[in-house]
Amino acid sequence: MRKAWRKRTTISDCSRNRRFVPFLVTAGTLICLLPARPLSASQTGSQAIDLLKLPRTQRLVISRFEGPFNFDGLSDEPGWQAVRPFPFIQASPQFGAPPTERAEALLAFDDEFLYVAGRLYDAEPGKIQAPTKKRDAMVASTEWFGLSLDTFNDKENALLFMTTPSGLRFDGAVFNDAQATNPADPQDVPLNLSWNAFWDVAVAVTKDGWFVEMRIPLSSLRFQDKDGRTVMGISFMRWITRKNESDVFPAIPPNWGEMSFWKPSQAQEIEFEGLKPRRPLYITPYLLGGRSRNYDLNDTETAYFRTDTPKFEAGLDVKYGLTSNLTFDLTVNTDFAQVEADDAQVNLTRFSLFFPEKRLFFQERSSNFDFNLIAQNRLFYSRRIGLYDDQPVRIYGGARVVGRVGGWDLGFLDMQTAAFEDSPSENFGVFRLRRRVINPYSYIGGIVTSRIGLDGEYNLAYGLDGIFRLFGDDYFTFHWAQTYETDEANKPFSMDPSWIDLTWECRTKKGLGYNLNFSRAGEDFDPGMGFLMRENFTRFEARGLYGWFPGEKSRLFFHDVFLSGWTIIDNGSNKVDSVQFGPGWEFSLKSGWSGSISPTIYHENVREEFSFSEEAVVPVGRYTFGGLTGYLVTPQGNLLSGIFFFDGGTFYDGRRFSLGVMPQWSIVPDLELSGMFEYNRVTFPKRGQKFFAPLARLRLLWTLSTKFSASTFVQYSGGDDAAIANVRLRYNPREGVDIYLVYNEGLNTDRLQKTPRPPATSDRTLVLKFNYTFNF
């Protein structure tokens, strides 16, 4: 870094003297630095070393963009010359090493936009990969550049804005400091990939590399200013796919695994002077038309009859910024026709499966509503609204307020749904508050939920929770909740309608990490707006690991050994209900290969008979069995890559064998084929029973441009003897304007075994949806 101006000055001094650029705040004092120019190829990066060594809480003051802005990706306007670049350091495969390709990021603002620039040089530009243009396509076979922005500087939540050499836009939201609720579950990823915002990106690919400019409207961000100053957290990332290399700013070590870069608690603090809040008003009406066809059994169950139904819908969504950090959403006759179908799953347990929320209305700062209990249990699960037995239920409308008031994170939601089959029209309400306490990484909060039917039935719940950073990577969390419902005794001083869980964890993958948990759910605890896998139980869990980053000379980037287990006791009988225990090893190579293997012992006390199908039943009894699970991931930067997984061994009083593969192939630029095939076979030789459940998914994606995409999705579930096909065309000329053409068809794959014989098609739908956003 160039030598700082020796005189200590104020912000107003810097703004008056245009020869200097305000950049660094330390101990409450601003230091003005000489204007920075882009690093040339011959510079050694001494400036970069200083910035990379700054403490995370030492704020960097962001410059105002002066002069005209030419939105072409090249960041060569005079206004960029006064903006000091952020340097990069290698995060993987060798943390702390200089990047193999030079790169720098820049950030500035004016009264309308936040401007981001990336200069991503490449000595071999012909090898730059960008096989897709689809919005929100997150694949490792393309180059990436982007940033994580913790707009409230709460060290827990952040917004992602990413792009590739093809100019696609990828945005998402990080929650819970990128810490999975269930670290042992590789599918538990603390990213909300369905969140979208209004912003633009321009990309230029030249003989020197590829170059990016992002233009993010301030109206798309929620932030909080104090005395004219706004503090946020920021981190930048570049991914070079052919080298399996990620470069970052600041110097975030990989101590927390693959999610290390996304952790808001590790972001560099930045400060804006005079960042003016915007209060946007977006009004988005939609029109939908189409036709559906269904085949149903007649009353005597002797034949199927066809019903053709025209579809015409209209609705409205409104988004208004009450303040710079508080947003009001209104929806009328909400429709989710454009939402992709859930991925089918094979259930080899005796409990319900969990499916993530994909509907956009529930996405913005959805973590404000989170009250996640242990594993996938939660007090509020938004899929309870507008869905009944996986069938869509009309949503008449609703309102939502989310953001921050003073020091409180706030979430309020109220929605009314129509009657459906034997379920009456219902009102769903949620109110959530959280506040930072003690230190920047600790919170306490509360939640209230209500589900009230027009028939007088009700289910109410409240909860209190807290998360406390004790020291280093050690955290203590607790949740307390109670539920009340119709025709129950509703005893507030009893453990029967209550849930409690306590967790002490060390969040690290370097050295010693651990997780200790105690959970208890009473027999009357029933969250009507939540998700609960078991009832009336007490759970003890312990997980420990020790991880290594071997260093420069090793082919291994990281590996760890772990030992985990849990025991669940039925509160009614005080007998052990389930046990799972086993060691394991996971690894990641610098070449991009990774994997895990774990032998596991299980014990299950089956108190009620359950079945996988009509031909495979597990009787009441106690069972002890064991198996081997694992996965192998090929380098995801290759145009052809895959994930292999397996699970096999004894299973109750029989055997289980599961094997799967998830390939992804960028056939040619803009044409991508991906899929999944899973083979599941369960046999009970002593009882002459078996269950065969293959599962297959196939996706074909064609992206003509960043504005037009066509996708085909077909999935088959052998366990359900059903297949569905989905074709979706999307035209997105600009953010907020969409035309969707969606075709769905359900297929009966086991017609010959049924009487009466069903038709080949179970249902068919064709819809055209158009929405247009007016921005005031």
Same domain, yes or no: 98 and 141: yes
Segment 324-343 shows an average pLDDT of: 81
Output the pLDDT for position 405: 87
Lowest mean pLDDT among 26-35, 136-145, 616-625: 26-35
Same domain, yes or no: 26 and 126: no
Q: Does 581 reside within a domain? A: no
Output the pLDDT for position 227: 84
Segment 153-172 shows an average pLDDT of: 93
Tens digits of residue pLDDT in 687-701 = 999 999 999 999 999
The token duo for 771 is: 């929405």
Mark which of 220, 251, 273 sits at the end of a domain.
Answer: 273
Amino acid symbol at 29:
T
Segment 53-57 shows an average pLDDT of: 83
Segment 86-112 shows an average pLDDT of: 94
Query: Residues 558, 509: contact at Cβ < 8 Å?
Result: yes
Cite the beta strand spans of 82-193 per DSSP E.
Answer: 89-92, 103-109, 113-121, 144-150, 158-163, 169-174, 191-192
Q: Does 608 reside within a domain? A: no
Number of domains in the chain: 2
Output the pLDDT for position 29: 31
Q: Does 657 reside within a domain? A: no
Segment 729-757 shows an average pLDDT of: 88
Same domain, yes or no: 31 and 105: no
Same domain, yes or no: 21 and 144: no
Q: Is the model more confident about 488 or about 172?
A: 172
Mark which of 206, 239, 273 sits at the end of a domain.
Answer: 273
pLDDT at 15 over 90: no
Output the pLDDT for position 442: 93
pLDDT at 9 over 70: no
Q: Does 84 reside within a domain? A: yes
Output the pLDDT for position 613: 86
What's 143's domain CATH number? Answer: 2.60.40.1190
Tens digits of residue pLDDT in 585-601 = 999 999 999 999 999 99
Output the pLDDT for position 182: 67
Secondary structure of 538-602 in the HEC alphabet? Answer: EEEEEEEEEEECCCCCCCEEEEEEEEEEEEEEECCCCEEEEEEEEEEEEEEECCCCEEEEEEEEE
Rg for the chain (alpha carbons), in Å? 27
Same domain, yes or no: 24 and 50: no
pLDDT at 34 over 50: no
Cite the beta strand spans of 324-372 per DSSP E.
Answer: 326-334
Same domain, yes or no: 142 and 240: yes
Same domain, yes or no: 78 and 7: no
Output the pLDDT for position 364: 67
Omega cis (within 30) before 669: no
The token duo for 250 is: 């600041």
Same domain, yes or no: 150 and 30: no
User: Shortest CA distance to 378 belongs to which of 454, 481, 301?
Assistant: 481
Mark which of 245, 273, 301 sits at the end of a domain.
Answer: 273
Q: Does 603 reside within a domain? A: no
| C-alpha angle 626-627-632 in degrees, rounded to nearest 5 | 160
pLDDT at 36 over 80: no
Range of the domain at 59: 43-273
Same domain, yes or no: 60 and 10: no
Output the pLDDT for position 628: 97
Output the pLDDT for position 186: 59
Lowest mean pLDDT among 337-341, 422-426, 537-541, 584-588: 337-341
Average pLDDT over the chain, rounded to an integer: 87
Same domain, yes or no: 185 and 58: yes
pLDDT band at 391 (very low <50, low <70, confident <90, very high): confident
Lowest mean pLDDT among 309-313, 388-392, 500-504, 565-569: 388-392
pLDDT band at 347 (very low <50, low <70, confident <90, very high): confident
Alpha-carbon span 595 to 81, nearest angstrom: 45
pLDDT at 358 over 50: yes
Which residue has 């260093």 as its token pair?
551
Alpha-carbon span 694 to 689, nearest angstrom: 17
pLDDT at 422 over 90: no
pLDDT band at 524 (very low <50, low <70, confident <90, very high): very high
The token duo for 230 is: 């706004």
Tens digits of residue pLDDT in 643-683 = 999 999 999 999 999 999 999 998 888 899 999 999 999 99
**Facing residues of 232 across strands?**
270
Same domain, yes or no: 5 and 108: no
pLDDT at 240 over 70: yes
Q: Does 602 reside within a domain? A: no
Lowest mean pLDDT among 150-164, 259-273, 330-344, 445-459: 330-344
The H or E element spanning position 726 is strand 722-734
In sequence order, which residues have a C-beta less than 8 Å from that of residue 130 and are 6 or more positions away? Answer: 142, 143, 164, 165, 166, 669
Q: Does 251 reside within a domain? A: yes
Alpha-carbon span 773 to 776, nearest angstrom: 10
In sequence order, which residues have a C-beta less than 8 Å from that of residue 692 and are 6 or more positions away? Answer: 680, 681, 682, 718
φ and ψ at 125, to 5 degrees? -60, -20
The token duo for 202 is: 């321009």
Secondary structure of 236-252 in the HEC alphabet? Answer: EEEEEHHHCEEEEECCC
Q: Does 379 reside within a domain? A: no
Same domain, yes or no: 13 and 47: no
Output the pLDDT for position 30: 33
Percent of the chain with pLDDT over 70: 92
